[in-house]
Amino acid sequence: MPQPRREAAPAKLNLSLHVTGRRPDGYHLLDSLVVFLELGDMVTVAPGPLSLRLTGPFAQGLAVEPDNLCLRAARLAGREARITLEKNLPVASGIGGGSADAAAVLRALEARPERLETLGADVPVCLASRPVRMRGLGEILTPLPPLPPLAVLLVNPGCGLSTPQVFKSLMRRDNPPMPDPLPDLSDAGMLIGFLQDCRNDLEAPAIALMPEISACLAAIRAEGAQLARMSGSGATCFGLFAGAAEAEAARARIAAANPGWWVATSGLAPAKL
């Protein structure tokens, strides 16, 4: 790696997230449609001894600790590197964050170590960084055909949620999976209709832990979103809108009315190879 390399770490969005079972070791079986956004963190990797520097609007939400996922990813790959992480996404917010950062470090290092999933269940999907159906614990990935352009609004109430705690608070762990095979999702109307029949099974336990999530969902619905749902284990919620102008108008109104919230719009990321 003679030159510094910049690598985008796109935010991950769970358009649906069905929890279909639990393994004896406590991990949950999932069935989820996952897409990636233009919006994300940025990782720069330069030659030198292993180190991490944090910049960006959400850098204060993280500390430079040995267990930072960027450092763990480089160590798992057996590589030295000076890593800079521009943290543009809120921390512990259900949109990939740490897993996307770890995957970006591995892409920048052109490394694909074994036992990737030990970094986190979402690291394999973030390494793929393209629309997929994700099953198992997150390791069974089925690529989706190209999706229509999506205008996404993201709303986060300004506080993080612990993923293990949300899973622990889940009342029912054997929920129905998504239909198999999936219908043709390349048509926007079909995709929205299909998603309306899907769920995020972590929404109810996350709301029980953090009632502000209900307020985020209500604000998105009040703006006329075609779909309003929480991503991952929360607390970030998303709305799908008919177009970028509608999403942007909703963003401006929700941000003005809720100064403590993080509100952003994005399209889908171009697929990585």
- Annotated catalytic residues are 12, 122
Report the distance separating Cα 22 and Cα 29, nearest Å.
6
Report the distance separating Cα 38 and Cα 124, nearest Å.
19
Q: Is 90 annotated as a binding residue?
A: yes
Of positions 94, 138, 205, 239, contacts ligand C5P by CB under 6 A: 138
Report the distance separating Cα 273 and Cα 271, nearest Å.
7
Residues 240-259 that bind ligand C5P (CB under 6 A): none
Do residues 80 and 48 lie in contact, with contact meaning Cβ atoms separated by under 8 Å? yes
Of positions 13, 30, 152, 153, contacts ligand C5P by CB under 6 A: 30
Per CB under 6 A, the segment of 7-15, 46-54, 116-124, 140-148 that binds ligand C5P is 116-124
Rg for the chain, CA atoms, rounded: 18
Q: Per CB under 6 A, does 96 bind ligand C5P?
A: no
Q: Per CB under 6 A, does 268 bind ligand C5P?
A: no
Report the distance separating Cα 272 and Cα 130, nearest Å.
6
Q: Per CB under 6 A, does 201 bind ligand C5P?
A: no
Per CB under 6 A, the segment of 86-94, 162-170, 175-183, 216-224 that binds ligand C5P is 162-170
Q: Per CB under 6 A, does 116 bind ligand C5P?
A: no
Could you tell me the sign of the dihedral formed by the alpha carbons of 4, 107, 233, 121, in that order? negative
Cβ proximity to ligand C5P, 76 vs 225, nearer residue: 76
Of positions 41, 86, 122, 246, contacts ligand C5P by CB under 6 A: 122
Report the distance separating Cα 20 and Cα 178, nearest Å.
9
Does 176 sit behind a cis peptide bond, omega within 30 degrees of 0 on the bond before it? no
Residue numbers at the binding site for ligand C5P (CB under 6 A): 27-28, 30, 120-122, 137-138, 163-164, 167
